[in-house]
């Protein structure tokens, strides 16, 4: 059973290019699929859905493209709020979200506060996120506390962005790329990985079910301990 699903949402640009559309059109189509993925995840009994929406490296993209992405983040937080309240979806974020424009931060903060008591599904959106940045930020928190005692793995986890959320059972990467792209480097240590050639704007319940079927046939060993 997958309790926590993580997805690297990739392929918006190539999806748009194949249709003679702009990259912005691809990002808009991709943003619409978040709701599709959330509903499919809830139907499958998944409790946590972490989505890689904007990385620390994505700030290097052209300014107009970054502007579109920031606008879509703001729009998502506002337009999807009624549906999240209706369906019992809790919204959270991870990453250096202080780097986001004020309007996006404000919309996200409001949606996060309004949905805080919802418990059907937690959508955890990674924004201005990098796995290395998360580890560095955790180390700096430890340094700031001036700890002198040894730090165990469990101690270290408590300094990560979302220490109360279990590690992902399954990572799905869309668009066929075979890399982690600096995503959840600590948390994905023993996660199963499923790669699909489907571009993110085409992701749907059928795509998710294929990934879940693949996962159900695997044996998770965690370095030696068998677990189905």
For residue 128, how many other CB atoms are within 10 A of its CB? 20
Element (H, E) at 146: none
Token representation of residue 134: 């998360």
Q: Strand ranges (DSSP E) for the chain? A: 4-8, 48-55, 89-94, 121-129, 170-173, 192-195
Nearest Cα residue to 193 out of 44, 2, 20, 41: 2
What DSSP designation does 227 have?
Answer: B
List, in order, residues 6 or more apart from 147 with CB less than 8 Å away: none
Distance (Å, whole) CA 88 – CA 92: 13
Catalytic residue among 12, 58, 155, 197: 58
Element (H, E) at 22: none
Distance (Å, whole) CA 120 – CA 187: 22
> Is residue 226 annotated as part of the catalytic site, yes or no?
no
> Is residue 204 annotated as part of the catalytic site, yes or no?
no
Active site amino acids: 10, 58
């Amino acid at each position: 059973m997958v309790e926590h699903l993580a997805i690297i949402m990739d392929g918006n640009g190539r999806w748009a290019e194949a249709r003679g559309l702009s990259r912005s059109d691809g990002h808009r189509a991709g943003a619409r699929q978040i709701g599709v993925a959330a509903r499919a995840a809830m139907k499958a009994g998944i409790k946590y859905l972490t989505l890689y929406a904007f990385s620390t490296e994505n700030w290097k993209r052209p300014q107009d493209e970054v502007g579109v992405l920031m606008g879509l983040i703001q729009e998502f937080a506002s337009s999807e709020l009624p549906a999240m309240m209706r369906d019992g979806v809790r919204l959270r974020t991870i990453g250096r979200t202080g780097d986001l424009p004020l309007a996006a931060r404000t919309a996200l903060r409001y949606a996060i506060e309004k949905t805080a008591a919802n418990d059907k599904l937690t959508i955890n959106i990674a924004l201005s996120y990098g796995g290395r940045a998360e580890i560095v930020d955790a180390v700096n928190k430890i340094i700031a506390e001036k700890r002198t005692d040894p730090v165990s793995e469990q101690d270290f986890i408590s300094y990560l962005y979302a220490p109360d959320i279990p590690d992902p059972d399954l990572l799905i990467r869309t668009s066929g790329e075979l890399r982690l792209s600096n995503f959840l480097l600590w948390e994905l240590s023993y996660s199963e990985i499923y790669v699909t050639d489907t571009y993110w704007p085409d992701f749907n319940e059928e795509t998710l079910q294929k990934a879940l079927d693949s996962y159900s046939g695997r044996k998770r060993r965690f370095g030696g301990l068998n677990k189905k």
